[in-house]
Amino acid sequence: MLRVIRAGVKKEFALVEAPTGTGKTMALLCAALAFQRSQPPGERPQIIYGVRTHAQANQVMQELKRSPYANHRAVVIAGRKHLCTN
């Protein structure tokens, strides 16, 4: 986690991996959102969190809703077949 924070402070990219079920999604998102909130308005970095499937995107959004960052603005960007066109 220290390396993730260090990358944020230095404005570097970070690539993080860990086994399934270790809590990396919430650990990473909460650390990134805490860092984002600590920055002055107008200098807060945009956070882009990519997943492979639509189900994973929904799972991340549900976890985010149960976190201290539930009121944080977030959006899922999905492929055309997952959009309502009515």
Q: Is the pTM of this model over 0.75?
A: no
State how far the Cα of 3 lies from the Cα of 39, in Å rounded to an integer.
18
pLDDT in tens, 24-70: 888 888 888 998 999 999 998 888 888 888 888 888 889 889 888 88
CA 21/CA 13 separation, integer angstroms: 24
- Asked if 18 and 26 count as a contact pair (C-beta separation under 8 A), the reply is no
* Residues ≥6 apart with Cβ < 8 Å to 68: 30
Burial class for 72, CB neighbours closer than 10 Å (0-12, 13-18, 19+): middle
